[in-house]
Amino acid sequence: QEACEARGCTWCSSDVPNAPWCFFPENSPYGYARSGNPEQTDKGWRVTLNKRQALSLFGNDISPIVLEVEFQTKDRLRFRLYDPNAQRFEVPLKIDGPGVTAEEANYEVE
């Protein structure tokens, strides 16, 4: 806990299996922040994310990026992060599902 908080992270113990106890706070200068409101698609949502500030953990950051969330089945969610301004390699794996709504899924997405 001390090492986590010394890095400026948030510590929150949890009984949820495999949940992280140490994570970046919402106002962290790292990572990405949502730009605008999520856009509803035929199978889920699409949202644009922009890099926060100039700090980088790994370098060569891309900004903006797009996050697409697709409700494929009641038990399977697909998410895809991609660069909207440049074509990059993507694993050529097509996994289609019947498509369900968020209300039909056995999981929640926030």
The pLDDT tens digits of the residues spanning 76-96 come to 999 999 999 999 998 888 887
Would you say residue 102 has pLDDT above 90? no
Instruction: Quote the distance between the C-alpha of residue 81 and its chain's center.
Output: 8
Partners of 71 in the beta sheet? Answer: 77
Q: Mind listing the pLDDT tens digit for each residue in 52-67?
A: 887 777 778 899 999 9
Strands (E), 60-102: 65-73, 76-82
Confirm if 94 and 70 have CB atoms less than 8 A apart: no
pLDDT of residue 25: 84
Report how far Cα 30 is from the mean position of its chain's Cα atoms.
Answer: 14
Q: Is the pLDDT of residue 46 over 80?
A: yes
